């Protein structure tokens, strides 16, 4: 699934001024971030509004440009813009978080981690950064630390997309063999946001892998209502309907997949 990559460029473009640096969490003896002060996670009070300096305004503009170029895949230009943004205002947490995304795209996970930690030191209660850092940690094989970051993001009452964090936590749990935890988080995600299609597709796939094709069909139907027909949904639909004995519906899905998405990986696997 690609939910771990859906990390919210829109949120990154809405950066504000950084607060005073604080420790983003309690570290264990090896330096890993396991225990997190949930009081920090749930903090919603921000800095008093103030007029930005000229450098801070320019830094915001450079950051927005850098995020846009990153989204378009122009990594070299994005790097230049983000470097200039951080030169103008090295205390902008969102700029550090955006630079972390870029460094990951450039294949430099250690540098990305440094920027994430700096971002959280500057803005420890930012749920988008917490969620994105959790995605990063899971990608580095640090499942427990990642889960702590997702829970921290979810704890913030102003977090606009908790279903995403629950889904990311579920995918990370699945990667590391914890199916029951993943199922619980996915059920919570669809309860919070029935229209969040990624969670429904993951639930359908999980239920099918457990041998419950009927439950998989129900979750897949909700996914289709939210996302429409997609290669991943059609491919799973073929498997589900075949298992349920509805070969006509399975054949219909197979035809849709071949005709509408002939170049998709799922269609290629049918050949």
pTM: 0.84
In this prediction, the residues of the chain whose per-residue pLDDT falls under 70 are 1-35, 45-49
169 belongs to a structural domain: no
The tokens for 125 are: 């209660």
* CA-atom Rg of the chain in angstroms: 21
262 belongs to a structural domain: no
pLDDT score for 1: 44
* Dihedral sign computed on CA atoms, order 35, 38, 42, 47: negative
Beta carbons within 8 Å of 21's beta carbon, 6+ residues apart: 121, 122
267 belongs to a structural domain: no
User: CATH number, domain at 116?
Assistant: 1.25.40.10
Q: Phi and psi at residue 2, in whole multiples of 5°?
A: -110, 15
pLDDT score for 145: 96
197 belongs to a structural domain: no
pLDDT score for 31: 43
18 belongs to a structural domain: yes
Q: How many residues does the chain have?
A: 271
Cα distances (Å, whole numbers) of residue 190 to 29, 223, 250 = 37, 10, 26
37 belongs to a structural domain: yes
19 belongs to a structural domain: yes
pLDDT score for 51: 85
Q: How many CA atoms lie within 13 A of 199 on its CB side?
A: 25
75 belongs to a structural domain: yes
pLDDT score for 68: 97
Angle between the N-to-C axes of helices 109-122 and 93-105, in degrees from 0 to 180, rounded to the nearest 10: 170
The total number of structural domains in the chain stands at 1
Confirm if 185 and 173 have CB atoms less than 8 A apart. yes
Q: For residue 20, what are the domain limits? A: 1-158
Buried b / exposed e over 242-257, threshold 16 CB at 10 Å, is: bbeebeebbeebbebb
Beta bridge pairs of residue 35 = 26
């Amino acid at each position: 699934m690609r939910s771990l990559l859906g990390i919210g460029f829109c949120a990154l473009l809405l950066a504000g001024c950084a607060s005073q640096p604080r420790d983003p969490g309690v570290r264990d003896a090896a330096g890993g971030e396991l225990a997190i002060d949930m009081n920090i996670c749930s903090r919603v009070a921000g800095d008093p509004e103030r007029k930005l300096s000229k450098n801070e305004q320019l830094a915001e503009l450079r950051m927005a440009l850098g995020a846009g170029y990153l989204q378009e895949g122009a990594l070299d230009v994005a790097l230049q813009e983000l470097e200039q943004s951080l030169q103008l205002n090295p205390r902008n947490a969102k700029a550090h978080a955006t630079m972390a995304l870029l460094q990951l795209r450039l294949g430099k996970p250690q540098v990305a981690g440094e920027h994430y930690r700096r971002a959280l030191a500057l803005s420890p209660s930012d749920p988008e950064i917490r969620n994105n850092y959790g995605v990063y940690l899971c990608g580095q094989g640090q499942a427990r630390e990642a889960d702590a970051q997702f829970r921290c993001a979810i704890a913030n009452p102003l977090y606009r997309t908790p279903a995403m964090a629950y889904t990311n936590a579920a995918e990370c749990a699945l990667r590391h063999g914890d199916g029951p935890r993943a199922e619980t988080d996915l059920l919570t995600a669809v309860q919070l946001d029935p229209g969040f299609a990624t969670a429904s597709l993951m639930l359908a796939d999980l239920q099918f892998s457990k041998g419950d094709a009927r439950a998989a069909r129900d979750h897949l139907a909700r996914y289709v209502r939210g996302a429409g027909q997609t290669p991943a949904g059609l491919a799973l639909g073929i498997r589900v309907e075949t298992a349920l004995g509805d070969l006509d519906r399975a054949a219909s899905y197979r035809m849709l997949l071949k005709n509408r998405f002939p170049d998709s990986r799922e269609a290629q696997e049918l050949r």
